[in-house]
Amino acid sequence: MPPEYVFDQDLGDLFVVRTAGQALDPLITGCVEYGPAHGTPLVFVLGHTGCGAVRATIEYLEDGLRPPGQLDRVVAAITPAYQMAKNSFHQSLSRDERIDATVAAQVQLTVTALRADPVIAGSGAMVTGGRYSLTTGVVGQVQA
């Protein structure tokens, strides 16, 4: 879902960096740093329900389905969020619920990492995150 649509903004109003599953690496972090370094006052990490990258991670970790190509790097980046969320899983959670819990954990971890980045922290930009519901169209805040 385009963030401009979600937040009712015109094209060009938002500085957007997209990654599968909110995965971070040095290149992506550098891209995110660019916004606050040039006056962007807010960094918003936006996950969404039913995330395919998170689904691939859970399919690998729970079912052993190895992802193709370089997707294993995305799975590796999301695995800590799965481990974090797994501590709160109840036996009765469906796979979709486990995916959404992992999305929230990934948003939390990404927000925490970006807040610790010296360029972003030094810019004074606020860093927060949320999860977009593909069903309701509502963004709920994810606490980090």
Query: Which residues, 6+ apart, have CB-to-CB distance to 53 below 8 Å?
Result: 20, 21, 23, 71, 74, 75, 78
Q: Is 48 annotated as a binding residue?
A: yes
Q: Is 31 annotated as a binding residue?
A: no
Question: Annotated binding site: which residue ranges?
Answer: 48, 51
Question: Annotated binding site for Zn(2+): which residue ranges?
Answer: 48, 51
